[in-house]
Amino acid sequence: MTNIAISTSAVGGGEYAAAISSAGGKPRLLEFAPAALDTQLAGCAGVLLTGGGDVEPALYGEPPDLATEIDSRRDTFELALVRRARERGLPTLCICRGIQLANVAFGGTLVTDIGTAYAPSTAALHLREIDGQSERGLIAGHAVAVRPASLLAAIVPNSPILTGSRHHQSLARVAADLAVVGTTPDGIVEAVEARFASPFWLGVQWHPESTLADDDGASRALFAAFVGAASRFAERVNVR
């Protein structure tokens, strides 16, 4: 099986590791240790950046007032990770915080808090809580329109895609090296792909790892495409 490097704070990798395993990959959890980045990536043919706390606002020129759960050590590690993965041409999938971190890494900025920047009705679509807990399934109204002829459209051809969502931040100025390929009706960016050469590079703002059994195969198709690209990369460059 192909080794997939997963950067996450979830103990055991949680749903992310399960999704990779279900797609035929072998999850390898990374420690947030920049000095050990290359050692940890040895033998891996794909990189998955996952959800979590907010990216440090100072990294994209905003005040810290509305950010939560900042982990500077994780920021430093994942900024190096996503850039190294790009340098090596490793297939990369970025989820929620991951798409935000990658956008910052490549020169973009973030909306620090959707609830402050947008109308309350918009904010509710992107982070819905029931009895104090974030909704982990599909959210009615959180439908992502996919740009035709994009990588995402090739993977999930039926647009729009009904998705699950747990984010209070989003992409603001999209990095020049990334192209928007998915949005919700309120205009919030929900998916980007690389403008630079890559066998597979995709960022999604929603949580496909939590909806594998809920969306008629769209989430499974996403992980299958990612792991498939990593497997082909491993064969092509003889990753062991």
- Is 207 annotated in the active site? yes
Q: Residue 69 pLDDT more than 90?
A: no
Q: How high is the pLDDT of residue 235?
A: 94
Tens-digit pLDDT profile for residues 77-94:
999 999 999 999 999 999
Give yes or no for residue 133 having a pLDDT over 70.
no
In the set 56, 190, 193, 209, the catalytic residue is: 209
The Cα–Cα gap between 28 and 106 comes to 25
Question: Residue 131 above 70 pLDDT?
Answer: no
What is the rounded distance in angstroms from the CA atom of residue 72 to the CA atom of residue 148?
A: 37
Q: What is the mean pLDDT of residues 106-116?
A: 94
Do 205 and 239 touch, CB atoms closer than 8 A?
no
94 given a catalytic annotation: no
The domain over range 2-237 is classified in CATH as 3.40.50.880? yes
How confident is the model over 188-211, as a mean pLDDT?
97
240 pLDDT above the threshold of 80:
no
Give the pLDDT band of residue 64 (cuts 50, 70, 90). Answer: confident
Residues 134-165 have pLDDT tens digits of 788 898 889 999 999 999 999 999 999 999 99
- State the catalytic residue, choosing from 78, 94, 96, 126: 96
Whether the model pTM is above 0.75: yes
Active site residue 96: yes
From 126, 142, 167, 207, active-site residue: 207
Q: Is the peptide bond before 34 cis (omega within 30 degrees of 0)?
A: no
In order, the DSSP letters of 101-169 are HHHHHTT--EES-HHHHS-HHHHHHHB-EETTEE--S--TT-EEEEPTTSHHHHHS-SSSEE---B-S-
- Stretch 49-59: mean pLDDT, rounded? 95
Q: What is the mean pLDDT of residues 35-49?
A: 97
